[in-house]
Structure 1
Amino acid sequence: MKRVHRVLVTATAAFAVVVASSAAVAAPAEKATDRRALQARLDHVVDVAAVGAMAEVRDERGVWRGSSGVARLGTDRAVPVRGRFRVGSISKTFVATVVLQLVDEGELGLDDTVESWLPRVVPGGDGMTVRQLLNHTSGVYDYVRTLPMPPGREFVANRWRTWTPDELVARAVASPPTSETPGAEYAYSNTGYLLLGQIIEKATGHSYADEIGQRIIGPLRLGGTSVPGTSPRIPNPRPRAYLPVEPGGTARPADYTEMNPSLFGAAGEMISTTRDLNRFVAALLDGTLIPAHLLDDAFCDQ
């Protein structure tokens, strides 16, 4: 039973780490020791919280890829180190990158109000800015807090449902804001990134998915990365994903690999690989995608 309770925590963990260093290349023995330590940490993740896990580390010593656990419960199939998986809120970093590219191009401004781009969508939107949506200080309520969560039956019933951003934003704004004054407090909000996805569409005439494809996925050749929209599937190779459900009153792990990702939209629908995420983050931090000063402008305290 101990193992089952661990499985219920999460399904598959994946990590991508970029390390920049000017240090000399380590000796073979040191390198081997370092990689064994990485594998031990990956094994620990599986031991306490996951069915399977994968990781990719790129540093001055080269590229290391590792996995632990299994790709599917009830089998001994290894987690594919180049496998695809749902990246969740890492999607927000892609959306934020597109927004900052548009700021750099003069198509929108960090201090533009939400009301100026999305009239009458958010109460108080005339005092809420693009910058505040980016850095989670807008005060707009997080729609995820209004949704049924696992292991309840209501969550399972929504598995294949297609949600629109308008529906999800409406759920959020039916609740009071998290602070009386936009910009006053940090409060994580998935709703803010749904709104940013809509602002991207207003500014460009294209969906945020198209803009991510044209501006990031294509130029960086991220062959394992996609914005699936309403498609429930993850292309192979990929591990299976599990969530706890209670069909008979007792929580058990259920295969939840296929589901309609429109529930998360611009806040978390994307699919990728550790390789692609490393390539993306490296390009973001080295100035390939946006000027470094824009990261400070968008995310530092104002």
Structure 2
Amino acid sequence: MSPANGRRVAAAALIAASLLAPSPAFAQPRHEDPAGVRQALEATVAAGAPGVLARIDDDHGTWIATSGTADLETRAPVPREARFRVASLTKSMVAATVLQLVQEGRVRLDEPIGDRLPGHVAGGDRITVRELLNHTGGLADYARAPEFADPGHYGRRTYTPERLIAEAERLPRPERGRFAYSNTGYILLGLLVEKVTGRDLSAELDRRIFRPAGMTRSYLPATSDVIRGPHATGYHLPQGADPAAPGALKPVTRLNPSFAWAAYGVVSDARDVNRFYQALFGGRLVGRDLLAQMRTGVATPQAPFFPQYGLGLESVGLTCGQMWGATGSIPGYQTFGFADAAGTRRMTLSVNVQRNDPGVATMLLSVIDALNRYFCGEPYRLPAQGIDRLTRRP
């Protein structure tokens, strides 16, 4: 057996033990160490993540753990206060900003985006703000354009929102009215915020979201390619590469983030992400009626793992029910942040790699297992549906 195959077998055995261990008769109380979460983090690394960071905040206090390494060359540990690109968790923050404008009577959820941004997209007179928020507007995703195949290429360029929309408009459109994940819709929502407020989106996020929630380590960069503060090296697996091959993971920490902007550009840390969902679900950012609409979802192709997408929020299907929050993926990092209904129990995980190969599903299962062990007090039980659904995007 080759060393690479040996590593795969060992990883599979560890993950299988993690996911199929007998469930406890009752949820063990959490004091310093939530039962089994460290085991799930170690399984995440065994499945191909260089490193992983997890943070829990609740009435018992704060729990932080890491596994693996922040850098494959230096083997340095993952910083406990690591910053990272939160990717599509940005959408939750932009959605909350849009809904604040709805509360103020300055935007309507069911108004066509073409009324505010005429000429930006074909058929904008029929695509509503609500449809942009929940990915049912029938817009192509610019991130699927050939321009964005290699982060080594597009991560060195500067893009305007208009250029990103133009790239999407060259692609075939999905059916309107059904869920089809589109970063393009959130670029339009970022432009909407700027049009209505007369201020840069970064300034509005700071004023409306970051400061009220106490997110002092969060910001939306424009073109700066550095991550401020302590952080792990971010890695990317090129398309078609074997993740087990030496040197397959390429460092991509430094990226010009203009390609992500309102769709997935925010930099933050686990503490701030947990503070965001505490403030949001606690009713401090958006009123209860609109918060309920944020958590009213449409079905996604990733069910039952991530079964619903609402207005900037998505759910994770655990053994004790659904938790709401978001997942994010950007070259260098994958992020998972979820909370209970009241925002009193929060958990955020950051993995310092973006992989889109089929094998990433095993890594994602280990992350879900970590979430399940905290929120439900037991190992995750693999549903009957195939794990290929974890990586599906329509």
- Tell me the TM-score range normalised by the shorter chain: 0.7 to 0.9
Alignment match of 2:185 (pick from 192, 200, 211): 192
Q: Deviations over 1:19-41 (max 9, x none)?
A: xxxxxxx76xx635x52511111
- Counterparts of 1:145-184 in structure 2, within 5 Å, are 145-148=144-147, 154-179=150-175, 182=176, 184=177
In structure 1, the residue matched to 2:194 is 201
CA distance in 1, matches of 2:115, 2:148: 34
Find the residue that maps to 1:58 and give its secondary structure: strand
CA distance in 1, matches of 2:268, 2:297: 31
| 1:2 positional shift | 3.1
- Counterparts of 1:216-235 in structure 2, within 5 Å, are 216-235=209-228
The one-letter code of the counterpart of 1:137 is T
In structure 2, the residue matched to 1:287 is 283
Verify the 8 A CA contact 1:242 1:255 in the aligned structure 2.
yes
In structure 1, the residue matched to 2:264 is 268
Task: Answer yes or no: is 1:241 the counterpart of 2:224.
Answer: no
In structure 1, the residue matched to 2:39 is 40
| 1:245 positional shift | 4.3
CA distance in 2, matches of 1:120, 1:80: 46
Equivalent residue pairs, number: 273
CA distance in 1, matches of 2:117, 2:295: 22
| 1:298 positional shift | 4.9
In structure 2, the residue matched to 1:68 is 67
CA distance in 2, matches of 1:286, 1:293: 13
| 1:208 positional shift | 1.4
| 1:76 positional shift | 3.1
| 1:163 positional shift | 0.7
Verify the 8 A CA contact 1:110 1:298 in the aligned structure 2.
no
Q: TM-score, normalised on structure 1? A: 0.83
Higher helix share: 1
Task: Answer yes or no: is 1:101 the counterpart of 2:97.
Answer: no
Find the residue that maps to 1:272 and give its secondary structure: strand
In structure 2, the residue matched to 1:31 is 31
Task: Answer yes or no: is 1:119 the counterpart of 2:115.
Answer: no
In structure 2, the residue matched to 1:2 is 4
Verify the 8 A CA contact 2:148 2:154 in the aligned structure 1.
no
| 1:299 positional shift | 5.5
Verify the 8 A CA contact 2:152 2:252 in the aligned structure 1.
no
Q: RMSD value over aligned CA atoms?
A: 2.5
The one-letter code of the counterpart of 2:223 is T
Q: TM-score, normalised on structure 2? A: 0.65
| 1:156 positional shift | 1.6
| 1:138 positional shift | 0.5
Q: Deviations over 1:125-180 (max 9, x none)?
A: 11110000001100111111113556xxx54222210011100101112223211x
* Cα distance change of structure 1 residues 61 and 286 upon mapping to structure 2, 3 Å threshold: same
CA distance in 1, matches of 2:295, 2:127: 15
Find the residue that maps to 1:127 and give its secondary structure: coil
| 1:61 positional shift | 2.8
The one-letter code of the counterpart of 2:100 is Q
| 1:272 positional shift | 0.5
- Unaligned 5+ runs, structure 2: 9-27, 299-394
Task: Answer yes or no: is 1:80 the counterpart of 2:86.
Answer: no
Decide which moves more: 249-258 or 167-176: 249-258
Verify the 8 A CA contact 1:135 1:299 in the aligned structure 2.
no
- Counting aligned pairs with the same residue, the percent is 38
Verify the 8 A CA contact 1:134 1:299 in the aligned structure 2.
no
Find the residue that maps to 1:66 and give its secondary structure: strand
